[in-house]
C-alpha cells in the first residue's frame, strides 16, 4: 500500500485521545472537541540498493559540477567533511548513511590515486563527538584506517592556526573556515538532511566556520527575521549562509556537496505505536504502549534516558544527490518536503506539542531546560512554511518534564547561563548585548570546547536566539508537566494538567480558542495557508 | 582429525584379514548406493532437517567455534541489502573455514546456506555424505572436472532460495598461501545472475591447517566484502575479479580500509598467493592474522605426529 500523506483530524467525541511525547515518557491527552491534530505523512519507501543509488548520484552530478571521478586526480588535497552527531535523531542503526557515502567517495579517491585525504567532522561550535559516536558516524573501517593516523579530525573553531579568513560578504559578514578545507583542492561535504534547515551552503559556511563568522547569522536580529528558519526562501539565517557560500565559491574553493534525505521510519518495531495514528493501534501497539509508559513512570529519569538514547532509528534513504551546492540542495528540499509537508488551512489560537527525549544538542545526554526551550520554540514552532501554525499573540503549550538537570561535561556553559543570565533576564536582545561576548570569549569554556566534549561557551545563547522569533510572535508559553521552578526561570507558565493549561491560555486567547496539535514523532512540516 | 586408518592400513593386510582383490577380468558390480557427486542431498534441505540443523548451528557449532577460533567478524554491513540467495566465495585454508563462515553469516543467511564440498572427499563414503549434508547442508561438488550434475545441483540449490558457500580454490591451502581461484563459482554466478559475496577468512591455517592433526586454539577474522555482480561472461575473468576482491579484503585486515583501497587503486595489493614455493623467506613473511593464542600442545597428542616425522 502506498504511504498515506499527512492527515488532519478534527477532534470529535469518538476519538481515543492524542499521544504526547513527554521527555522520556508519554502522555495520552484528550483535546477539546473541534481541535485539529496534524499527523505527519507515513514513511516513504526506502531506496533498496543504497550503494547503487550513491554510485548513480556521484556519477551524475547536479548543476554544473563534473562527476566525482572527474574531479579527483593524483596529488590533490582532498577534504571530506561530514555532519556531526546532531544528525540524524535518534542516531541511525548501523551502518550510518554517512559511513556508506564516505566509503564510496574513498573508493573513487583510491582508484584515482588521491593520497592526501583528511576527514573532518563539521562541528562548528558543537561539542566534539566521542570515540563511539565518531566510529558510528564514519563506520569501523574508515575509523580504523584514518583515526590512528590523525587523518580523522573534528573541526576546531577556536584553533587560531587551523582557521583561514576567506573574505567578507557585501553586507560585511566575515567568512572564516577551517584552514585545511580552505587550502584543499576539493571539499566533499557529506550531509544528512533531516529537516529543511540542514544542508546547502549552511553545511560548509556554518559547519566548518568560527565564532567570528557565525555571529553574523547566529544572532537575535537574524533569527527574528527568519520566518521560519526552516523555509529557505524566508530565512534570513539561510540568506546570510548563502552570501557566505558565494564568498567561498568566489575564493576558488571547490565544494562537491552530497546530500541525503531520510524517510520517517524513526523508531524500531518495539515502538511502532509512536508512528501510528492512535485509532489504528493494534492490540500489540496498545500493549506495548501500556507496558512502556507504565514501566517508564516507575523508572528513574537517568535510566529512562539511557534506554531512550540507546534507540537506533531504522531510517531509510529516500534520496541522494551530489554536485553543485545549490542545485543539490534544491533536489534535497523536494525530497524533504515530499516526506514531511502537510497542508494546513489557517492558524489557530493555541498550538500544542509534546517534546521528545532528544534534540539536536543532547544526543546521549540530558535535555536541560534551555534545550527544552530551543526544541519547542526553536525547532517545533518553526516547522512551518508561509505562516506559523499559531496566530500572532497566541499560546503554545509544550509537554515536557523540564527538570533542572544539566550535563556538566557536554553543557558546562548552559549551567552558568541558566544560573547567571536567565536569573537576570529572558529577553533575547538584552541577553545578547549584555552577556554574549563574555561567554563566547571565556578561556575556560574555550578550553573545554577544544579539549573535552563541551559545547562552546556561546552555544546556550544561540539556543536562546533560536526561539527569539517564537517569543516575538507568541502571547504566552505554557509548559505542561514541567518543573515549576525551571519553567518560571525560562519565563513561562507552568501547568500540571491539560485542562489547567487550557484555562490559563484562555486569559490570552479567550474562552473558545481554536487549537492545533503538532503530532510528532515523526517529523512534519506544516504548509499553512 | 585423528585417523586410525592412517596407522592401520586394512588394505595392506593379507586376505582374509584385508580386503579381497577384485580380479581384473571380472566386471565390477555397480555400488549399491550413489556416492560422490551422485549422492542425494535433497533431504538435508527439508524444513525439518533445516530446523534441527539451525539448533545445532546456533547452540553447538557457534559456541564451539567461538571457543576454538574467537572470530572477529567484519564487513557484515556491506551485505545488509544484498538480495538472497547469494554465492559466498572465500579463500580456503582449513576444515574450520566452513563452520566458521557459516556461523559468521548474518541471521538471514545462516540457516539457509548450503556448502559446496568436494564430492571425492566428503561424499566418498555413505556415512560421510550423511554427516556433512546433515550438519552443514553440504552438497557434492566435483573438483577435478566441471560436471553437468554438479552445475545443475548448484543451480537448483540457488533457485530454491538457498545461498551457497564455495571455495573457488578447490581445496585447502597446503602451505597457508592461497591458490588460483578456479572458475566454478564465477561460472555459477554468471549462469544464475546471482551476486558473489567475496569473503576473506584469516587465521584458520594456524589453527587447523592441512598439516595439523589436531586443532589449536587461536583467533580468526572473517571479512565480508561488497557483493559483485557478474559483469562479464568469461568465468576466468570473473574469477580473477573475485580473487582480487578477496585479496583486497585480506589487505584490509592486515593494514586498514584506506590503505587497502589505495593499494587496489594503484594495483599493488599484496597477493595472497605464493610466488616462490621454495623460498622460506616468503613463508616467513606471509601475513598471518595476529593474536594467535600460543599454547603448548599436549605431549601425548603430539607423540604420534613426532613419531611420524622422525620415521
Q: Among A141, A150, A314, A315, which would you mutate to test the B interface (most chain B Cβ atoms within 10 Å of its Cβ)?
A: A141
Q: What domains can you pick out in chain B, each with its CATH number?
A: 50-274+281-310 (3.40.1130)
**Residue B174 C-alpha, separation from nearest chain A C-alpha, in angstroms:** 31
In this structure, the number of other CB atoms found within 10 A of the CB of residue A293 comes to: 16
Inter-chain CB proximity A51 and B261 less than 8 Å: no
**Residue A100 C-alpha, separation from nearest chain B C-alpha, in angstroms:** 9
In this structure, the number of other CB atoms found within 10 A of the CB of residue B219 comes to: 17
Which of A76-85, A189-198, A349-358, B73-82 is least confident?
B73-82
State the pLDDT confidence band at B308, using cuts at 50, 70 and 90.
Answer: very low
Residues counted in chain A: 529
Convert the pLDDT of each residue in A303-329 to its tens digit.
999 999 999 999 999 999 999 999 999
State the pLDDT confidence band at B227, using cuts at 50, 70 and 90.
Answer: very high
Alpha helix ranges (H) inside chain B? 4-7, 47-56, 62-69, 97-104, 107-110, 119-122, 126-136, 148-159, 184-192, 204-208, 235-254, 257-265, 280-284, 299-310
Say what the pLDDT of residue B281 is: 65
Which chain A residues are closer than 8 Å to B261 by Cβ? 106-107, 109-110
State the pLDDT confidence band at A372, using cuts at 50, 70 and 90.
Answer: very high
For A141, the closest chain B residue by CA position comes to B257
Say what the pLDDT of residue A296 is: 92
Inter-chain CB proximity B258 and A48 less than 8 Å: no
CA separation for the pair B291, B220 (Å, rounded)? 8
Cell of A466: 533560536
Characterize A151-177 residue by residue with b for buried, 16 or more Cβ atoms within 10 angstroms of its Cβ, and e for exposed: bbbbbbbbeeebbbebebbeeebbbbb
Inter-chain CB proximity B262 and A51 less than 8 Å: no
Neighbouring residues of B66: CB distance < 8 A, sequence distance ≥ 6: B103
Statement: residue B299 has pLDDT above 50: no
Q: Which residues pair with A197 in a beta bridge?
A: none
| Dihedral of alpha carbons B274, B280, B285, B291, sign | positive
State the pLDDT confidence band at B310, using cuts at 50, 70 and 90.
Answer: very low
A182, A176 Cβ separation under 8 angstroms: no
CA separation for the pair B265, A71 (Å, rounded)? 16
Maximum mean pLDDT: which of A183-192, A225-234, B263-272 = A183-192
Which chain B residues are closer than 8 Å to A146 by Cβ? 258
Inter-chain CB proximity B256 and A51 less than 8 Å: no
Convert the pLDDT of each residue in B57-70 to its tens digit.
999 999 999 999 99
Say what the pLDDT of residue B204 is: 93
Q: Half-sphere exposure of residue B292, counting CA atoms within 13 Å on the CB side?
A: 16
Which chain A residues are closer than 8 Å to B257 by Cβ? 103, 106, 141-142, 144-145
Which chain B residues are closer than 8 Å to A99 by Cβ? 77
* B265 reaches A (C-beta below 8 A): yes
Ramachandran class of A439: left when φ > 0, alpha when ψ lies in -120 to 50, beta otherwise: alpha
Convert the pLDDT of each residue in B179-203 to its tens digit.
999 999 999 999 999 999 999 999 9
CA separation for the pair B105, B222 (Å, rounded)? 9
Statement: residue A72 has pLDDT above 80: yes
State the pLDDT confidence band at B301, using cuts at 50, 70 and 90.
Answer: very low
Contacts with A, B 202-231, CB within 8 Å: 226
Which chain A residues are closer than 8 Å to B79 by Cβ? none
Mean per-residue pLDDT of chain B: 84
Task: Give the number of beta-carbon pairs within 8 Å between A and B.
Answer: 47
In chain A, what percentage of residues exceed pLDDT 90? 93
Say what the pLDDT of residue A502 is: 96
Inter-chain CB proximity B261 and A113 less than 8 Å: no
Terminal CA-CA length for chain A: 29
Out of A50, A111, A144, closest to residue B81 by CB? A50
Say what the pLDDT of residue B3 is: 58
For B263, the closest chain A residue by CA position comes to A110
Cell of B51: 530446523
Statement: residue A197 has pLDDT above 50: yes
In chain B, what percentage of residues exceed pLDDT 70? 84
Say what the pLDDT of residue B309 is: 40
Say what the pLDDT of residue A238 is: 95
Inter-chain CB proximity B77 and A139 less than 8 Å: yes
Convert the pLDDT of each residue in A156-171 to its tens digit.
999 999 999 999 999 9
Inter-chain CB proximity B262 and A110 less than 8 Å: yes
State the pLDDT confidence band at B304, using cuts at 50, 70 and 90.
Answer: very low
Say what the pLDDT of residue B297 is: 41
Radius of gyration of chain A (CA): 22
* B20 reaches A (C-beta below 8 A): no
Overall average pLDDT of the B248-269 stretch: 92
For A111, the closest chain B residue by CA position comes to B265
**Residue B99 C-alpha, separation from nearest chain A C-alpha, in angstroms:** 25
Domain boundaries, chain A: 7-43+341-528, 50-262
Say what the pLDDT of residue B307 is: 41
What is the CATH code for A7-43+341-528? 3.90.226.30
Say what the pLDDT of residue A400 is: 97
CA separation, residue A81 to residues A149, A255, A258, A447, A495 (Å): 17, 10, 10, 23, 44
A199, A329 Cβ separation under 8 angstroms: yes
Convert the pLDDT of each residue in A78-112 to its tens digit.
999 999 999 999 999 989 999 999 999 999 999 99
Say what the pLDDT of residue B290 is: 59
**Residue B224 C-alpha, separation from nearest chain A C-alpha, in angstroms:** 12
Out of A107, A113, A142, closest to residue B266 by CB? A113
Inter-chain CB proximity A94 and B77 less than 8 Å: yes
Q: Which residues pair with A191 in a beta bridge?
A: A259
Say what the pLDDT of residue B295 is: 42
Which chain A residues are closer than 8 Å to B253 by Cβ? none
CA separation for the pair A267, A126 (Å, rounded)? 25
Overall average pLDDT of the B286-298 stretch: 52
Pairing mode, strands A317-323 and A255-262? antiparallel
Inter-chain CB proximity A144 and B257 less than 8 Å: yes
Mean per-residue pLDDT of chain A: 95
Query: Hey, what CATH class is A50-262 in?
Result: alpha beta
Convert the pLDDT of each residue in B12-67 to its tens digit.
677 777 777 777 777 777 666 677 778 889 999 999 999 999 999 999 999 999 99
Statement: residue A216 has pLDDT above 70: yes
Say what the pLDDT of residue B284 is: 67
Amino acid at each position: 500500500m502506498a504511504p498515506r500523506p499527512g492527515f488532519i483530524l478534527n477532534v470529535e467525541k469518538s476519538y481515543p485521545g492524542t499521544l504526547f511525547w513527554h521527555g522520556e515518557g508519554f502522555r495520552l491527552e484528550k483535546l477539546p472537541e473541534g481541535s485539529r491534530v496534524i499527523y505527519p505523512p507515513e514513511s516513504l519507501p526506502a531506496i533498496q540498493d543504497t550503494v547503487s543509488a550513491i554510485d548513480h548520484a556521484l556519477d551524475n552530478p547536479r548543476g554544473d559540477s563534473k562527476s566525482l571521478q572527474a574531479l579527483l586526480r593524483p596529488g590533490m588535497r582532498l577534504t571530506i567533511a561530514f555532519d556531526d552527531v546532531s544528525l540524524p535523531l535518534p542516531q541511525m542503526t548501523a551502518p550510518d548513511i554517512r559511513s556508506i557515502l564516505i566509503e564510496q567517495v574513498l573508493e573513487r579517491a583510491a582508484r584515482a590515486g588521491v593520497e592526501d585525504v583528511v576527514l573532518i567532522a563539521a562541528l562548528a561550535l558543537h561539542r566534539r563527538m566521542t570515540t563511539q559516536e565518531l566510529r558510528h558516524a564514519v563506520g569501523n573501517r574508515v575509523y580504523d584506517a584514518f583515526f590512528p593516523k590523525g587523518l580523522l579530525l573534528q573541526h576546531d573553531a577556536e584553533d587560531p592556526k587551523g582557521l583561514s579568513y576567506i573574505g567578507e560578504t557585501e553586507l560585511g559578514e566575515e567568512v572564516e573556515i577551517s584552514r585545511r578545507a580552505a587550502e584543499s583542492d576539493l571539499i566533499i561535504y557529506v550531509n544528512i538532511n533531516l529537516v529543511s534547515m540542514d544542508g546547502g551552503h549552511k553545511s560548509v559556511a556554518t559547519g566548518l566556520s568560527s565564532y567570528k563568522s557565525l555571529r553574523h547569522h547566529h544572532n537575535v536580529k537574524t533569527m527574528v527575521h527568519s520566518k521560519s528558519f526552516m523555509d529557505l526562501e524566508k530565512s534570513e539565517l539561510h540568506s546570510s549562509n548563502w552570501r557566505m557560500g558565494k564568498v567561498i565559491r568566489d575564493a576558488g574553493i571547490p565544494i562537491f556537496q552530497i546530500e541525503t534525505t531520510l524517510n520517517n521510519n524513526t523508531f524500531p518495531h518495539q515502538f511502532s505505536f509512536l508512528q501510528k495514528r492512535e485509532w489504528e493501534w493494534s492490540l500489540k501497539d496498545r500493549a506495548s504502549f501500556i507496558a512502556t509508559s507504565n514501566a517508564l513512570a516507575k523508572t528513574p529519569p537517568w535510566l529512562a534516558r539511557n534506554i531512550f538514547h540507546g534507540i537506533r532509528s531504522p531510517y531509510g534513504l529516500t534520496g541522494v544527490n551530489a554536485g553543485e551546492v545549490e542545485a543539490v540542495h534544491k533536489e534535497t528540499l523536494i525530497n524533504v518536503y515530499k516526506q514531511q509537508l502537510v497542508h494546513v488551512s489557517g492558524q489557530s489560537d493555541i498550538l500544542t506539542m509534546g517534546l521528545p527525549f532528544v534534540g539536536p544538542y543532547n544526543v546521549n545526554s540530558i535535555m536541560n531546560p534551555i534545550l527544552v526551550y530551543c526544541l519547542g520554540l526553536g525547532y517545533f514552532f518553526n516547522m512551518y512554511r508561509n505562516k506559523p501554525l499559531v496566530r500572532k499573540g497566541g499560546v503554545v503549550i509544550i509537554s515536557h518534564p523540564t527538570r533542572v538537570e544539566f550535563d556538566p561535561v557536554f553543557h558546562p556553559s548552559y549551567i552558568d547561563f541558566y544560573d547567571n543570565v536567565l536569573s537576570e533576564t529572558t529577553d533575547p536582545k538584552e541577553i545578547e548585548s549584555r552577556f554574549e561576548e563574555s561567554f563566547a570569549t571565556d578561556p575556560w569554556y574555550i578550553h573545554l570546547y577544544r579539549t573535552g566534549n563541551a559545547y562552546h561557551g556561546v552555544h546556550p545563547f544561540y539556543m536562546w536566539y533560536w526561539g527569539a522569533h517564537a517569543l516575538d510572535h507568541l502571547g504566552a508559553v505554557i509548559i505542561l508537566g514541567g518543573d515549576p521552578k525551571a519553567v518560571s526561570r525560562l519565563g513561562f507558565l507552568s501547568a500540571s494538567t491539560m485542562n489547567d493549561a487550557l484555562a490559563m491560555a484562555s486569559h490570552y486567547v479567550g474562552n473558545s480558542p481554536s487549537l492545533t496539535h503538532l503530532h510528532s514523532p515523526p517529523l512534519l512540516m506544516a504548509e499553512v495557508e | 582429525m585423528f585417523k586410525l586408518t592412517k596407522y592401520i592400513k586394512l588394505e595392506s593386510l593379507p586376505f582374509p584379514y584385508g580386503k579381497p582383490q577384485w580380479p581384473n577380468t571380472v566386471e565390477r558390480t555397480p555400488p549399491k548406493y550413489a556416492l560422490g557427486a551422485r549422492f542425494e542431498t535433497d533431504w538435508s534441505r527439508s524444513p525439518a532437517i533445516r530446523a534441527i540443523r539451525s539448533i545445532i548451528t546456533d547452540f553447538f557449532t557457534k559456541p564451539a567455534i567461538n571457543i576454538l577460533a574467537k572470530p572477529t567478524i567484519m564487513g557484515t554491513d556491506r551485505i545488509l541489502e544484498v538480495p538472497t540467495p547469494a554465492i559466498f566465495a572465500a579463500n580456503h585454508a582449513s576444515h574450520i573455514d566452513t563452520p566458521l563462515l557459516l556461523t559468521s553469516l548474518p541471521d538471514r543467511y545462516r540457516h539457509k546456506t548450503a556448502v559446496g564440498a568436494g564430492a571425492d572427499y566428503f561424499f566418498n563414503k555413505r556415512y560421510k555424505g550423511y554427516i556433512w549434508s546433515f550438519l552443514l547442508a553440504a552438497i557434492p561438488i566435483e573438483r577435478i572436472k566441471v560436471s553437468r550434475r554438479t552445475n545443475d545441483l548448484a543451480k537448483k540449490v540457488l533457485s530454491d532460495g538457498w545461498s551457497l558457500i564455495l571455495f573457488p580454490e578447490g581445496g585447502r591451502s597446503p602451505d597457508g598461501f592461497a591458490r588460483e581461484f578456479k572458475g566454478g563459482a564465477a561460472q555459477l554466478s554468471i549462469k544464475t545472475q546471482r551476486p558473489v559475496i567475496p569473503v576473506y577468512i584469516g587465521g584458520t591455517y594456524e589453527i587447523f591447517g592441512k598439516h595439523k592433526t589436531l586443532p589449536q586454539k587461536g583467533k580468526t577474522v572473517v571479512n565480508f566484502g561488497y557483493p559483485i555482480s557478474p559483469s562479464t561472461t568469461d568465468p576466468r575473468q570473473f574469477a580473477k575479479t573475485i580473487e582480487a576482491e578477496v585479496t583486497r579484503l585480506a589487505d584490509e585486515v592486515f593494514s586498514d580500509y584506506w590503505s587497502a583501497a589505495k593499494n587496489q587503486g594503484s594495483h599493488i595489493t599484496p597477493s595472497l598467493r605464493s610466488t616462490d614455493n621454495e623460498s622460506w623467506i616468503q613463508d616467513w613473511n606471509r601475513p598471518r592474522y595476529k593474536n594467535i593464542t600460543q599454547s603448548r600442545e599436549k605431549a601425548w597428542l603430539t607423540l604420534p605426529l613426532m613419531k611420524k616425522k622422525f620415521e
